């Protein structure tokens, strides 16, 4: 059966863990050759091993999305080794700690550098190869970019920037045949969210999970695979009329 991404090349950042890893596996299963990009090179290699074991094609690239030279080298290697670029998934992200009353300046900078500036740098580097045959960019937002999450000030602001940037990119890149959409996931149980869930339960992860699930009308948290399937829809031709869309995948959390 034909895959939804047959013959395409996808560049996925933060693909050494969580949602990015799930997306790398799904995109490869749907026929894409995948550049697995992560700050943690070993984690990227582990994802590639999983993809290859499932019969897919992928390369691991260690890069910091917040460093222009890293990103430009990773995009150049992708084009050279995988034969072009069709899909950029700006997924790499980090969380933050505290409200504006107590957040650390360094934490604010790190959060903006990875989540917001990383999205800009990767997109800038990817635009020339994406323009060759038309392409798609998926930016990873968060419900935190749409509604307030307590004690997550820098993260809320950085994801809000990603949402605004998505709309800006969509209109600027449409003439180059590049569609740009964002996903705003609700809570997905990955290594990124574990500290927040633990803190919410005063150190007890199960209690934190129960408190969080109570905020979700659908009655459960998201899984990396559920978000990866939304990304697949935005990456492929099924979403051909979508650009500038902010797709919430949050079990109804922001509908209340
Ligand atoms: N998990 C959630 O509940 C949730 C909810 C909404 C949005 N998100 C967003 O989804 C994305 C993925 O989150 P996840 O939960 O899978 O996280 P995760 O921590 O499991 O994975 C993130 C990956 O990004 C990599 N990374 C971090 N900084 C990087 C950098 N500077 N350059 C390159 N790679 C870097 C990490 O090494 C890690 O492998 C993030 O943007 C996150 O903000 C997550």
Residue 17: band (very low, low, confident or very high) from pLDDT cuts 50, 70, 90: very high
* Test site for ligand 1: of 18, 43, 91, 223, most ligand atoms within 8 A of the Cβ: 18
Interval between CA 61 and ligand 1 midpoint (Å)? 16
**Strands 87-90 and 57-62, sheet pairing:** unpaired
Per-residue pLDDT tens digits for 69-94: 999 999 999 999 999 999 999 999 99
Query: Does residue 89 have an active-site annotation?
Result: no
Which residue minimizes the CA distance to atom 22 of ligand 1? 14
Return the CATH number of 9-186+223-249, one of 3.40.50.720, 3.40.190.10, 3.40.50.300, 1.20.140.10: 3.40.50.720
Annotated active-site residue in 11, 89, 152, 155: 155
- Give the CA distances from residue 70 to residues 64, 117, 125, in Å, rounded to whole numbers and listed in that order: 6, 13, 10
For residue 224, the number of C-alpha atoms closer than 13 Å in the C-beta half-sphere is 19
Query: Looking at residues 134-152, what average pLDDT do you find?
Result: 97
- What angle in degrees, to the nearest 10, is found between the helix axes of 68-78 and 118-133? 30
The pLDDT tens digits for 182-227 are: 999 999 999 888 888 998 999 999 999 999 999 999 999 999 999 9
What are 209's two structure tokens?
Answer: 């999970």
Read off the pLDDT of each residue in 98-106 and give the average, rounded to a whole number.
96
> Which protein residue has the closest C-alpha to ligand 1 atom 1?
188
Give start-end residues of each CATH 3.40.50.720 domain in the chain: 9-186+223-249
pTM listed for this prediction: 0.98
Q: What pLDDT, on the 0 to 100 scale, is given for residue 130?
A: 98
The DSSP output letter for 115 is I
Atom 7 of ligand 1, nearest CA residue: 142
Query: Does residue 18 have its Cβ closer than 6 Å to ligand 1?
Result: yes
Task: Report how far ligand 1's centroid is from the alpha carbon of 126 (Å).
Answer: 20
Q: How far is CA 221 from CA 83, 85, 190, 226, in A?
A: 37, 32, 11, 10
60 lines ligand 1 (CB under 6 A): no
Give residue-wise pLDDT tens across range 160-183: 999 999 999 999 999 999 999 999
Integer Cα distance of 88 and 255 in angstroms: 28
**DSSP code for 176:** G
Q: In this model, does residue 1 exceed pLDDT 80?
A: no
Question: Of all atoms in ligand 1, which is nearest to the CA of residue 20?
Answer: 16
Residue 129 CA to residue 80 CA, distance in Å, equals: 11
Helix (H, G, I), strand (E, B) or coil at 181: strand
Looking from the CA of residue 14, the nearest atom of ligand 1 is 24
């Amino acid at each position: 059966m034909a895959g939804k991404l047959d013959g395409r090349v996808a560049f996925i950042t933060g693909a050494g863990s969580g949602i990015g890893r799930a997306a790398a596996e799904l995109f490869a299963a749907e026929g894409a050759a995948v550049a697995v990009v992560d700050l943690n090179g070993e984690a990227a290699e582990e994802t590639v091993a999983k993809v290859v074991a499932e019969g897919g094609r992928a390369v691991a690239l260690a890069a910091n999305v917040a460093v222009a030279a890293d990103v430009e080298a990773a995009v150049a290697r992708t084009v050279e080794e995988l034969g072009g670029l069709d899909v950029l998934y700006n997924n790499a992200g980090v969380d933050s700690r505290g409200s504006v009353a107590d957040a650390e300046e360094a934490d604010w900078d790190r959060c903006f550098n990875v989540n917001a500036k990383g999205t800009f740098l990767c997109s800038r580097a990817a635009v020339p190869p994406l323009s060759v045959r038309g392409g798609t960019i998926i930016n990873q937002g968060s419900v935190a970019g749409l509604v307030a999450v307590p004690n997550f000030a820098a993260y809320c602001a950085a994801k809000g920037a990603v949402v605004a940037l998505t709309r800006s990119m969509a209109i600027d890149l449409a003439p180059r045949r590049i569609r740009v959409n964002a996903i705003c996931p609700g809570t997905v149980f990955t290594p990124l969210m574990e500290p927040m869930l633990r803190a919410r339960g005063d150190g007890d992860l199960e209690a934190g999970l129960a408190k969080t699930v109570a905020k979700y009308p659908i009655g459960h948290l998201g899984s990396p695979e559920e978000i990866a399937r939304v990304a697949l829809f935005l990456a492929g031709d099924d979403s051909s009329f979508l650009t500038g869309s902010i797709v919430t995948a949050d079990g109804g959390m922001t509908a209340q």
